[in-house]
Structure 1
Amino acid sequence: MSDTAEQSGRRTGEPAEREPAEERRKRLRERRAAAHRGARRVLARPGFVTSLRERLALLDGAAELYDLDEPSDMYGNGVVESLEEKAAALLGQEAAGFFPTGTMAQQVALRCWAGRTGSQAVALHGLSHPEVHERNAFSQVSGLRPVRVTSAPRPPTADEVRELEEPFGSLMLELPLRDAGYLLPTWEELNQVVEAARERDAVVHFDGARLWETTVHFGRPLDEIASLADSVYVSFYKSLKGYGGAALAGPRWLVEEAKVWRHRYGGMVFQQFPTALSALAGLDRELPRLPEYVAHARVVAAALREGFAAAGVPWARVHPEVPHTHEFQVWLPYDADVVAEAAVRQGEETGTLLFSRAWDAPGPGLAVTEVAVEETGLEWTAADVRAAVAGLVARLSPEGDA
């Protein structure tokens, strides 16, 4: 998300300074990043906001994950192959291929499926990542044709897939659907959607960048979830805090064909051992903790609702009310720039940064942001969350500027 009107350090309620909007946005981004780095208490501390020294520390203990006396990798062998094998086993798939980005991995996967099905049409949600965040890469780069099943802020239904007027060769499902609030269908609904695609002789691909944290909601192990699809993509940095990279898992023929296209797309990187080792570290250290993060996210979400109610905020929403993963949305009845300024000020003045991500304006007088609960968030009690909400709301009022 990105703030719609970043502030330049002015206190809430003061007139806006006469400077370009982009400059204000830049200044607030810098303040928010500084507040995050300096905060004593945050709900999550993503790797990308930490220093290079801290990022390099991720590889401390790497010798426990892989034999560091083995030759270094070249063009995808060695430690990269070891990571691929581990990912395939975790996802219950025959094989997996490492890609530098998820954007590349999914384009390649769906291009390969298009060759098999004879259809360039990919059915997907209008809020899915390729539609919102990839600058029309499917059509501009890979010759694929996106067909929207729905654009409603919820997962697609089996009836919508079954009744889609246009033919399609592949159905892509983003699990969870990030831009709708990290939403997931129920296990029964997911099975029904997959079956509806099968009825139309379509293959099913999971955009599972964050599939790792869906096991609590579905009540199923990761390999059982992934095995519903013909292929699945997962990210190594979004939840696992690796340096980057992704895996495409599925039948061995698909992965081998995808590696050919990976080379053609410029993804045949000479050496990738730092990224591969960081991914192995994430699988070893973060993956087992994700269920704990999801469980505590539900505690935090409930405390946020209680805190805003106690503070007398007339309309506030946590979406979904019970988070499906360890990430969710918070909606408030204020201008996005006002909330963004107050949130940053709270971090600067108290060392407690309740909301560390940017705020968007989905409509006049509305603000929405995303919340993640990770290791540092486990230290927060419900009372801590409610107290932080009270501090934020105080900074949103005129009296809070005094």
Structure 2
Amino acid sequence: MADGTDEADEADEMDGTGGGTERAARARRLAAWHGAERTLARGPAEVRIAERLAALTTALDADTAPYDGDGWVDIYGDGIVEELERRVAELLGMEAAAFFPTGTMAQQVALRCWAGRTGSPVVALHPLAHLDMHERDAYLTVSGLRAVRPTSEPRPPTAEEIRGLDEPFGTLALELPLRDAGFVLPEWDELVAAVEAARERDAVVHFDGARLWECTAHFGRELPEIAALADSVYVSFYKSLGGLSGAALAGPETLVTEARAWRHRYGGQLFQQWPAALAALDGLDRELPRLPSYVAHARVVAKALRTAFTAAGVGWSRVHPEVPHTHQFQVWLPYPAAVLDEAGVRLAEETRTVLFRRWREPGPPGLAMTELTVASSALEWTADDVTAAADAFLARVRELTEVRGLTEG
């Protein structure tokens, strides 16, 4: 994954008895991925420290450097951080933006500010939204807010569902795209209608736009027009732009001023943040213009995978969405995650090609899912390259499945 989720939770898997084994397995995976000559995306976890530092230095030395390397480092968010905030506000067409060390903090501050302004602690959000799935109920336990659910279907809520909520709410939070449902987006008219439905309920609208950068191709709209639908927007700098870390909250000047005060209270007023700010500026210059090409090529990759799975006679498989809405999508196969993980590592070790990384089983045992990211390195892959890599991967899956069956028998 380009956002680093493949390796982010691995420390939790290392208990007192299996920690050494898991650390060795992780080291093997990273070595295989790092040594690959062909990959659809380079994940941040597989980059060595010296390589990352060299990349930042190269960005500073380029003729089109994102910031003056002779400038001073920031102190509590001035200088380069202020330049990043200005760039984000301009790109989104918002009055102002504030840099945050994490997206979770930016989201919580936004919701807290809106709760105070609307007088309502109720947030309408999807149960698969990042706010619910990946922030440890921070909106509830830290900010004292609570949620209502317009829908539990694995898609964004509709205008009718928002109008039909049976109690008042102060904020509608929409994740664009809805990552845990498969990086799915509504159609443009559906999004406009959903926002209008929230306005009819006297609610404000907040976009969880961690991956908003790559939504322009699907909507056929530029970033300012998309962001203009919302009262506030959060964006990430590392999920699609290849940054080190960090996020921004954009909106009206008055909201951003208040958000800065809460950022300090939440511990987000860091002494220096220039490496993260520099990497974010570099990502805005280097990756943002290329994201539409990644989205277009993701559709080529997805179609080639479907073709390969069908030709190989895989009993059940799914690429979701069939036509990706962004440059990321889900792949489902009817094998245990451990088998697919091992097949992927062997493919990388034996052919120096990475197709898939980590798999998990979010549903029935033996049915695994992975998230695929298509980035700059994928643009060299033709549809035939994808099907050939998929065939080689499935061959290793079959070998492992046969061995496993004999062993269990």
The TM tier, using the shorter chain, reads: over 0.9
2:40 and 2:373 in contact (8 A); partners too: yes
Structure 1 residues 14-163: aligned runs within 5 Å: 25-59=22-56, 60-62=58-60, 64-163=65-164
Q: Could you say which residue in structure 1 is the equivalent of 2:398?
A: 397
Identity %: 64
- Maintained 8 Å contact 2:109/2:263: yes
One-letter amino acid matched to 1:36? W
| 2:100 and 2:249 in contact (8 A); partners too | yes
Q: 1:244 maps to what in 2?
A: 245
How is 1:3-402 mapped onto 2 (pairs within 5 angstroms)?
25-59=22-56, 60-62=58-60, 64-398=65-399
Separation in 2, partners of 1:364, 1:200: 42
1:369 aligns to what SS in structure 2?
strand
The answer to whether the 8 A contact 2:169-2:203 is kept is yes
Which SS does the other structure have where 2:372 is aligned?
Answer: strand
Q: 3-state SS of the aligned residue for 2:99?
A: strand
Residue 319 of structure 2 aligns with an amino acid whose one-letter code is V
The code of the aligned residue for 1:62 comes to L
Structure number with higher relative contact order (C-alpha < 8 Å, ≥ 6 residues apart): 1
Aligned equivalents of 1:143, 1:120: Cα separation in 2: 7
Aligned-CA RMSD value: 1.9
CA deviation profile, 1:243-262 (whole Å, cap 9, x unmatched): 11100000000000000000
Superposed displacement of residue 21, structure 1: 6.6
> Which sections of structure 2, spanning at least 5 residues, go unmatched?
11-15, 404-409
CA distance in 1, matches of 2:286, 2:32: 26
TM-score by length of 2: 0.91
Give, as a single letter, the amino acid of the residue that structure 2 aligns with 1:97: A
Kept after mapping to 1: 8 A contact 2:173/2:205: yes
| CA distance in 2: counterparts of 1:399 and 1:136, whole angstroms | 39
> Could you report, residue by residue, the CA deviation over 1:72-93 in whole angstroms, capped at 9, with x for unpaired residues?
2111111111110100000010
- CA contact 2:235–2:248 (8 Å) conserved in 1: yes
SS in 2 for 1:237: coil
TM-score, normalising length: structure 1: 0.92
Name structure 1 gaps, 5 residues minimum: 7-18
How far did residue 20 of structure 1 move?
6.0
2:180, 2:190 → 1: CA distance?
A: 19
The answer (yes or no) to whether the contact 2:341–2:357 under 8 Å persists in 1 is no
Q: Is the 8 A contact 2:150 2:161 kept in 1?
A: yes
* Equivalent pairs, count: 388
Task: Check 1:130–1:311 CA distance in 2 against 1; reply closer, same or farther (3 A cut).
Answer: same
Shift of 1:335: 1.7
Kept in 2, the 8 Å contact 1:212–1:287? The answer is yes
Q: For residue 400 of structure 1, report the CA deviation from its aligned partner.
A: 7.9
2:343–2:400 Cα contact (<8 Å) kept? no
SS at match of 2:116: helix
Q: Is the 8 A contact 1:58 1:278 kept in 2?
A: no
Instruction: Please report how far the alpha carbon of residue 38 of structure 1 lies from its aligned counterpart in structure 2 after TM superposition.
Output: 1.2
CA distance in structure 1 between the aligned counterparts of 2:42 and 2:260, rounded to whole angstroms: 33
Q: In 2, Cα distance between the equivalents of 1:398 and 1:252?
A: 59
